[in-house]
């Protein structure tokens, strides 16, 4: 992983997080079968496979540090959206969120040293799991919001 730079912040962060999730795909067991999450850049409506986690493009917040406009602080928010079949229960989503959160926590020092990203004070935030209808199937869905600052 390479150090992210202000000019290429969005694609650099996406690439770093994509690589981490692909190397550590979450799984869960339902009815004796292990299901592995696929990573997507957008929710796939045509021939969707489940479970899936969507890595959305990061949001960047730039805070000017001085009144004259010199100096800036960069905040980065990344949202992950989780989708799993409702019949697999809410544990399918909870398991995916927990596994990815633990992967991030285990790699915080790498984000700092390899990418120049420091976890924000409220680094990880999960939403409640809720049902979502897509055509003839009902899914459970939830999101996780991850926050970093560029050092």
- Domain with residue 75: its CATH number is 3.30.70.1700
| pLDDT tens-digit map of 96-150 | 999 999 999 999 999 888 888 899 989 999 999 999 898 888 999 999 999 998 8
pLDDT: is 136 or 84 the higher one?
84
Residue 1 lies in a domain: no
What does pLDDT average to over the chain?
Answer: 89
Q: Are strands 59-64 and 72-85 parallel, antiparallel or unpaired?
A: antiparallel
Domain count, the chain: 1
- Output DSSP code: residue 151: -
Residue 67 has pLDDT above 70, yes or no: no
Per-residue confidence (pLDDT) for residue 7, from 0 to 100: 72
Give 68's pLDDT tier (boundaries 50, 70, 90).
Answer: low
pTM of the model: 0.89
126 near 143, Cβ under 8 Å?
yes
Sort 76 into a burial class: Cβ within 10 Å, 0-12 / 13-18 / 19+: buried
Instruction: Specify the pLDDT at position 150.
Output: 83
Residue appearing with tokens 């999450």: 37
Residue 93, domain member (yes or no): yes
63 within some domain: yes
Residue 32 lies in a domain: yes
- Domain encompassing residue 54: 6-150
- pLDDT tens sequence across 11-52: 888 999 999 999 999 999 999 999 999 999 999 888 889 999
- Are the CB atoms for 34 and 110 separated by under 8 Å? no
């Amino acid at each position: 992983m390479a150090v992210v730079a202000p000019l290429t912040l969005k694609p650099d962060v996406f690439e770093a997080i994509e690589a981490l999730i692909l190397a550590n795909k979450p799984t869960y067991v339902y009815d004796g079968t292990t299901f592995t999450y696929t990573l997507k850049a957008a929710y796939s409506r045509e021939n969707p496979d489940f479970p899936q986690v969507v890595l959305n493009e990061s949001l960047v917040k730039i805070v000017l540090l001085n009144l004259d406009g010199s100096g800036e602080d960069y905040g980065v928010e990344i949202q992950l959206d989780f989708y799993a079949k409702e019949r697999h229960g809410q544990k399918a989503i909870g398991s995916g969120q927990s596994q990815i959160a633990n992967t991030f926590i285990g790699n915080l020092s790498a984000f700092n040293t390899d990418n120049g990203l420091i976890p924000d004070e409220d680094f990880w935030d999960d939403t409640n799991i809720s049902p979502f209808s897509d055509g003839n199937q009902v899914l459970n869905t939830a999101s996780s919001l991850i926050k970093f600052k560029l050092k």
